[in-house]
């Protein structure tokens, strides 16, 4: 372990400064800090949503508005309708009502927009962001464009938070709570599922992650953080109108997250701080410098943003950490692996020789192209079947048909006796089939350990709340111990804590095998696992596969490397132009004239 100062120490110093700040600062700076705290809370939601989950939203200001207006209406209306009258006049109750309403609106909006991909999603968020903004300005009960005033201050233990420095503590307590729970969440089973979204839906689903659910989870959490910010804002200002809840602020929140470092929870705070202070400062300085009044800050601000996006794509937080590290080394605390954690439960393995997978007459057409034509194959427990054939023969397509990534045009696929056509890869992986990818799909900035732990997703059950409040540690220890065991099994132990992206391509393929094994499969599908491996590594891989076979695992292997296949597998299926041209023992197939003609003749 590297020596250096514990990150905890920095945290304690930071909290100390926060605690003492109001005692030394003027009212102006306290207000500034209050705004930074409020903005950071919204930006924190965007770190989760955009930085981690890869879903860009310009509409967060609208959720701030829902939080602010809910409490404004509930605490100022003289006559509330009977059904909601119980919630009137009590800010803490209207916070709860606001959060429930926000969650409901977020689920509704999310179910309509989160299915959109590419740039359609950000456009969708702009659309509902604008709609909600106009709703705030149009509804008479919300005070139209004049807004609502006379909002009471929040009381905590009977003390009314009337002054800036009083609200300050509440705002920062909320923000820190948000930061810590978000950080806990990201470092958990549920958090890995969220982070897996960036590795692509195909990979995440194949590891058993319900990606639609994960997207919804982060969308709702981001909305709730925005709502809480709005609630605090309304009671701090004691007044609301629609202006701060429009698209303009929606864009600014996104800037904060990106500038601060959208992949880090503390980036939200840095971004909110830098942008708020910078804007204030430019607003003061520029007119004096230029001798003219006007909104020059917006122009300079825009240029600065472009520069930051150019020069520091990861945002300011990683730069700050690197800078501090150069002065005083910060200790990197590795995740402890508990070798004594109770092993995760294992599935009942089928008996050796049982048929695991059976594909019958599978045909897949892409328009006029028949990529698979009446393909049949079967894999038994305790056997390695190789699917070989020249490039473009249809091997990967066949892989996708049996693993649920794609659906055959016609034909039947049975796994453990049941039809899995149209089931989807998540359901199939739950049944005990796990795979690797021809084009490696992993999360390069996550450690090898965490990447492999994604494979064990379906073997745990702890959800968002348990993770956020650290009530998942027993299960988490078991999952990480399992991941570590698989990493040792495939021979990557020395890279356990390295970033997955720093491994050589061959090792990344091995990592994918460990990840697949972490799901405790009975059938392993490997798409060209030996590609990019050196001779020694191929030997080690071959030994591993033989060991797995000995334990009763079935393996379906797509491979190019003939020598690798011939010394290893039990049976071979040869494809050409989407069809099966031969099947049999390796030495038989090797002598088959059709195969020699189609494949070996051309390649060797």
Choice between 26 and 391, CB closer to Mg ion: 391
Tell me, letter by letter, the H, E, C secondary structure of 277-303. Answer: HHHHHHHHHHHHHHCCCCCHHHHHHHH
We find the least distance from the C-beta atom of residue 396 to ligand ADP, in angstroms, to be 3
Choice between 332 and 369, CB closer to Mg ion: 369
- Residue 397 contact among ligand ADP, Mg ion, none, beta carbon within 5 to 8 Å by kind: ligand ADP
**Positions 383 through 422 that interact with Mg ion (CB under 5 A):** 396
Check if the beta carbon of residue 600 is closer than 8 Å to that of residue 562. yes
Check if the beta carbon of residue 168 is closer than 8 Å to that of residue 33. yes
We find the least distance from the C-beta atom of residue 579 to ligand ADP, in angstroms, to be 11
- Residue 371 contact among Mg ion, ligand ADP, none, beta carbon within 5 to 8 Å by kind: ligand ADP
Helix (H) or strand (E) holding 378: strand 369-380
Choice between 397 and 451, CB closer to ligand ADP: 397
- Residue 369 contact among ligand ADP, Mg ion, none, beta carbon within 5 to 8 Å by kind: ligand ADP
Choice between 396 and 467, CB closer to Mg ion: 396
We find the least distance from the C-beta atom of residue 362 to Mg ion, in angstroms, to be 16
- Residue 394 contact among Mg ion, ligand ADP, none, beta carbon within 5 to 8 Å by kind: ligand ADP
Distance of CA 551 to the CA centre of its chain: 34
Distances (CA, A) of 412 to 29, 91, 405, 579: 69, 59, 15, 16
Beta-carbon contacts of 514 under 8 Å, excluding residues fewer than 6 positions away, are 448, 452, 455, 483, 486, 487, 489, 490, 492
- Residue 215 contact among ligand ADP, Mg ion, none, beta carbon within 5 to 8 Å by kind: none
Helix (H) or strand (E) holding 374: strand 369-380
- Residue 380 contact among Mg ion, ligand ADP, none, beta carbon within 5 to 8 Å by kind: none
Choice between 228 and 531, CB closer to Mg ion: 531
Choice between 203 and 517, CB closer to ligand ADP: 203
**Cα separation, 352 vs 553, whole angstroms:** 8
We find the least distance from the C-beta atom of residue 61 to Mg ion, in angstroms, to be 46
**Cα separation, 283 vs 296, whole angstroms:** 7
User: What are the DSSP calls for 572-593, one per residue?
Assistant: EEEEETTEEEEEE-HHHHHH-H
- 276 sits near Mg ion (criterion: CB under 5 A): no
Q: Which stretch binds Mg ion (CB under 5 A): 75-83, 162-170, 434-442, 572-580?
A: 434-442
We find the least distance from the C-beta atom of residue 407 to ligand ADP, in angstroms, to be 12
> Which conformational region is residue 224 in: left (phi greater than 0), alpha (psi within -120 to 50 degrees), or beta?
alpha
Q: Which residues of 552-568 are buried (b: 16+ CB within 10 A; e: fewer)?
A: bbbbbbbbbebebbbeb
Burial label, 108 (beta-carbon count in 10 A; 0-12, 13-18, 19+): exposed
Choice between 382 and 389, CB closer to ligand ADP: 389
| Interface mask toward Mg ion for 88-127; x: CB under 5 A | ----------------------------------------
Choice between 155 and 438, CB closer to ligand ADP: 438
Beta-sheet strands, E only, within 432-506:
433-435
Choice between 274 and 371, CB closer to ligand ADP: 371
**Cα separation, 510 vs 541, whole angstroms:** 8
- Nearest residue to 365 via CA among 357, 375, 355: 375
Burial label, 168 (beta-carbon count in 10 A; 0-12, 13-18, 19+): buried
We find the least distance from the C-beta atom of residue 365 to ligand ADP, in angstroms, to be 9
For tokens 């009960």, the residue is 141
Choice between 395 and 478, CB closer to ligand ADP: 395
We find the least distance from the C-beta atom of residue 525 to ligand ADP, in angstroms, to be 13
We find the least distance from the C-beta atom of residue 317 to ligand ADP, in angstroms, to be 39
Distances (CA, A) of 225 to 6, 95, 103, 265, 544: 29, 12, 10, 13, 47
We find the least distance from the C-beta atom of residue 401 to ligand ADP, in angstroms, to be 10
We find the least distance from the C-beta atom of residue 379 to ligand ADP, in angstroms, to be 18
Q: Which stretch binds Mg ion (CB under 5 A): 160-168, 208-216, 419-427, 430-438?
A: 430-438
- Residue 549 contact among Mg ion, ligand ADP, none, beta carbon within 5 to 8 Å by kind: none
Q: Which stretch binds Mg ion (CB under 5 A): 59-67, 209-217, 267-275, 437-445?
A: 437-445
Residue 585's CB: how many other CB atoms inside 10 A? Answer: 11
We find the least distance from the C-beta atom of residue 602 to Mg ion, in angstroms, to be 16
**Cα separation, 287 vs 291, whole angstroms:** 5
Distances (CA, A) of 249 to 31, 63, 90, 242, 542: 18, 11, 28, 11, 57
> Which conformational region is residue 486 in: left (phi greater than 0), alpha (psi within -120 to 50 degrees), or beta?
alpha
We find the least distance from the C-beta atom of residue 54 to ligand ADP, in angstroms, to be 22
**Cα separation, 452 vs 466, whole angstroms:** 21
Bridge partners for 365 per DSSP:
370
Choice between 443 and 574, CB closer to ligand ADP: 574
Task: Enumerate binding residues for ligand ADP (CB under 6 A).
Answer: 366, 369, 371, 389, 391-397
- Residue 364 contact among ligand ADP, Mg ion, none, beta carbon within 5 to 8 Å by kind: none
- Residue 366 contact among ligand ADP, Mg ion, none, beta carbon within 5 to 8 Å by kind: ligand ADP
Choice between 50 and 400, CB closer to Mg ion: 400
- Nearest residue to 500 via CA among 465, 454, 536: 454
Choice between 195 and 364, CB closer to ligand ADP: 364
- Residue 137 contact among Mg ion, ligand ADP, none, beta carbon within 5 to 8 Å by kind: none
We find the least distance from the C-beta atom of residue 396 to Mg ion, in angstroms, to be 3
**Positions 179 through 208 that interact with Mg ion (CB under 5 A):** none
* Contacting positions for Mg ion (CB under 5 A): 396, 438
């Amino acid at each position: 372990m590297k020596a250096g100062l514990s990150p905890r120490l920095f945290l304690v110093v930071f909290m100390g400064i926060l605690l003492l700040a109001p005692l030394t600062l003027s009212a102006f700076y306290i207000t500034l800090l209050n705004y930074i705290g409020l903005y950071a809370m919204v930006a924190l939601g965007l770190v989760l949503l955009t930085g981690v989950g890869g879903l860009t939203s310009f509409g967060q200001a609208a959720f701030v508005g829902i939080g602010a207006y809910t409490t404004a209406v509930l605490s100022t209306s003289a006559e509330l309708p009977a059904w909601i009258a119980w919630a009137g006049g009590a800010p803490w109750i209207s916070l709860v009502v606001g959060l429930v309403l926000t969650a409901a609106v977020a689920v509704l909006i999310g179910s309509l927009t989160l299915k959109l991909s590419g740039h359609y999603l950000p456009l969708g968020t702009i659309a509902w962001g604008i709609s909600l903004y106009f709703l705030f300005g149009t509804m008479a009960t919300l005070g139209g464009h004049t807004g609502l005033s006379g909002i009471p201050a929040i009381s905590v233990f009977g003390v009314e938070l009337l002054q800036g420095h009083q609200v300050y503590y509440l705002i920062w307590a909320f923000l820190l709570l948000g930061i810590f729970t978000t950080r806990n969440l990201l470092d958990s089973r549920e958090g890995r599922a969220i982070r897996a979204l960036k590795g692509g839906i195909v990979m995440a689903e194949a590891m058993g992650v319900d990606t639609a659910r994960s997207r919804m989870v982060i969308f709702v959490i981001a909305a709730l953080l925005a709502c809480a910010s709005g609630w605090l804002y309304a009671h701090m200002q004691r007044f609301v109108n629609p202006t701060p809840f429009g698209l303009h602020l929606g864009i600014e929140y996104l800037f904060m997250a990106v500038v601060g470092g959208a992949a880090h929870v503390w980036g939200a705070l840095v971004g909110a701080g830098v942008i708020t202070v910078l804007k204030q400062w430019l607003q003061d300085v520029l007119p004096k410098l230029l001798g003219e009044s006007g909104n020059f800050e917006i122009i300079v601000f825009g240029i600065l943003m472009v520069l930051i996006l150019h020069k520091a794509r990861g945002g300011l937080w990683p730069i700050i950490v690197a800078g501090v590290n150069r002065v005083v080394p910060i200790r990197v605390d590795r995740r402890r692996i508990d070798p004594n954690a109770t092993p995760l439960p294992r599935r009942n393995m089928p008996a050796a020789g049982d048929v695991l997978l059976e594909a019958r007459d599978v045909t897949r057409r892409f328009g006029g192209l028949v990529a698979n034509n009446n393909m049949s194959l079967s894999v038994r427990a305790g056997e390695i079947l190789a699917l070989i054939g020249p490039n473009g023969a249809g091997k990967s397509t066949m892989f996708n048909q049996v693993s649920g990534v794609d659906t055959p045009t016609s034909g039947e696929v049975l796994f453990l006796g049941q039809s899995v056509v149209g089931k989807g890869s998540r359901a199939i992986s739950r049944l005990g089939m796990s795979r690797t990818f021809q084009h490696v799909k992993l999360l390069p900035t996550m450690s090898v350990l965490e990447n492999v732990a994604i494979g064990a997703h379906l073997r745990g059950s702890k959800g968002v709340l348990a993770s956020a409040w650290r009530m998942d540690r027993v299960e988490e220890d078991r999952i990480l111990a399992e991941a570590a065991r698989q990493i040792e099994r495939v021979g990557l132990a020395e890279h356990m804590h390295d970033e997955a992206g720093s491994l050589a391509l061959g090792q990344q393929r091995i990592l994918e095998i460990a990840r697949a094994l972490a799901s405790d499969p009975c059938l392993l599908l490997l798409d060209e696992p030996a590609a990019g491996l050196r001779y020694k590594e191929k030997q080690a891989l071959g030994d591993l596969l033989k060991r797995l076979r000995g334990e009763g695992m079935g393996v379906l292997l797509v491979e190019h490397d003939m020598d690798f296949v011939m010394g290893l597998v039990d049976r071979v299926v040869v494809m050409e132009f989407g069809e099966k041209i031969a099947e049999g023992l390796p030495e038989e197939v090797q002598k088959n004239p059709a195969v020699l003609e189609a494949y070996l003749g051309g390649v060797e």
